[in-house]
């Protein structure tokens, strides 16, 4: 597994992390997007990820109201993973809250993580009652108190990211990352200023939904009936967005090219899409695909064994430009 430096920090993490939303135990609003994974299966997915070279995990307070954090930390404990050998990123949920909540809830986050430190604490969305500047200052207080190591944001547009960066810069701290939706079928960060500004500032992009909710696999193009077997909330989102008949037809051009290139590497379309995503812009982009099955974790890891040619990267760039 390749590793690269996270933003302006002094640590290197694997190009792929493991997204842990699916560890929510079907708890709370956000948890309803996933069925409840058993502790055994969760631990197996974490074990496979670690064995494959993944050294960091992305979770959040919102994911099952702490259930994801607990499931992750319990798995790491059962696997006897050293507290300082993995990198954990979590997120503070801002909706209907003020910035002071960042400080008052940090011990809850640490308790849910069972002793594993928070390497990256992120503001989940720019939706709080307080200003971005106040939120960043409370985050900076946590860095100075030794509660967290680095600070990131999530779902921030270009101007919001700049405000966060500037507020932290005044405290002598660099913004490490911005976590945004990004895939070969959703390239808006390349056209709305986020990616270019992140490169300029030295901020890493963490791509969530890097497989477009499974759409890049091609299985829904081959058999649209599979959409109906998804969990109710996820099925609703799929039917309303990329998974409509019109969008399946539109994305088929990209899927067909992914299928064509995947044959050159005895790989899957998803593996090619992941590899392309994290290599298109040098060392700027990380990705956090999730896994609900051990075999999915293996597939994600194996995506990093592919070495796409410059011609293949360019061709995928060309066929997916409609998603800029």
- Domains of the chain with CATH codes: 3-212+276-291 (3.20.20.100)
In this prediction, residues 284-289 reach a mean pLDDT of: 98
Output the pTM of the full model: 0.95
In this prediction, residues 73-86 reach a mean pLDDT of: 97
Query: pLDDT > 90: what percent of the chain?
Result: 85
In this prediction, residues 25-33 reach a mean pLDDT of: 87
What are residue 224's phi and psi, to 5 degrees? -55, -20
Q: How confident is the model at residue 267 (pLDDT cuts 50, 70, 90)?
A: very high
Residue 20 · residue 58 · CB < 8 Å? yes
pLDDT at 244: 76
> What span, in angstroms and rounded, lies between the C-alpha atoms of 284 and 238?
28
pLDDT at 319: 98
In this prediction, residues 50-71 reach a mean pLDDT of: 98
Q: Which residues are catalytic?
A: 63
Q: How confident is the model at residue 93 (pLDDT cuts 50, 70, 90)?
A: very high
Q: How confident is the model at residue 29 (pLDDT cuts 50, 70, 90)?
A: confident
Q: How confident is the model at residue 237 (pLDDT cuts 50, 70, 90)?
A: low
Query: pLDDT > 70: what percent of the chain?
Result: 95
Q: How confident is the model at residue 230 (pLDDT cuts 50, 70, 90)?
A: low
pLDDT digits (tens, 9 = 90+) for 144-201: 999 999 999 999 999 999 999 999 999 999 999 999 999 999 999 999 999 999 999 9
In this prediction, residues 4-29 reach a mean pLDDT of: 95
pLDDT at 136: 98
The more confidently predicted of residues 214 and 235 is: 214
pLDDT at 241: 63
- Over 90: is that where the pLDDT of 220 sits? no
Within the chain, where are the H helices?
28-31, 39-51, 67-78, 100-104, 106-112, 132-144, 158-169, 194-201, 219-222, 232-240, 245-262, 269-279, 294-302, 310-319
Total H helices, total E strands in the chain = 14, 10
């Amino acid at each position: 597994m390749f590793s690269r430096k996270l933003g302006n920090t002094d640590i290197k993490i694997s190009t792929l992390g493991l997204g842990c939303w699916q560890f929510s135990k079907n708890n709370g609003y956000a948890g309803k997007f996933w069925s409840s994974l058993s502790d055994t299966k969760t631990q197996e997915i974490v074990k496979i990820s670690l064995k494959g070279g993944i050294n960091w995990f992305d979770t959040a307070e919102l994911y099952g109201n702490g259930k994801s954090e607990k499931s992750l930390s319990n798995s790491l404990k059962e696997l006897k993973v050293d507290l300082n050998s993995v990198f954990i990123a979590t997120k503070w949920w801002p909706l209907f809250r003020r910035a002071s909540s960042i400080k008052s809830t940090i011990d809850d986050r640490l308790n849910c993580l069972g002793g594993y430190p928070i390497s990256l604490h992120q503001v989940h969305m720019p939706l709080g009652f307080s200003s971005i500047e106040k939120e960043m200052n409370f985050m900076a207080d946590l860095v100075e108190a030794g509660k967290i190591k680095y600070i990131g944001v999530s779902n921030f547009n270009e101007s919001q990211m700049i405000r966060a960066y500037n507020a932290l810069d005044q405290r002598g701290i660099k913004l490490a990352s911005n976590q945004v939706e990004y895939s070969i079928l959703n390239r808006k960060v390349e056209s709305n200023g986020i990616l270019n500004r992140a490169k300029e500032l030295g901020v890493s992009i963490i791509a969530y939904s890097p497989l477009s909710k499974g759409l890049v696999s091609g299985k829904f193009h081959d058999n649209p009936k599979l959409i109906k077997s998804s969990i109710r909330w996820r099925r609703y989102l799929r039917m309303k967005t990329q998974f409509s008949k019109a969008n399946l037809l539109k994305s088929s051009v990209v899927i067909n090219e992914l299928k064509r290139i995947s044959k050159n590497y005895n790989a899957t379309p998803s593996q090619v899409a992941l590899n392309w995503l994290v290599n298109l812009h040098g060392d700027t982009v990380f990705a956090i695909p999730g896994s609900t099955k051990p075999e999915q974790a293996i597939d994600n890891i194996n995506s990093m064994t592919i070495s796409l040619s410059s011609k293949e990267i360019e061709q995928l760039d060309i066929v997916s430009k409609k998603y800029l």
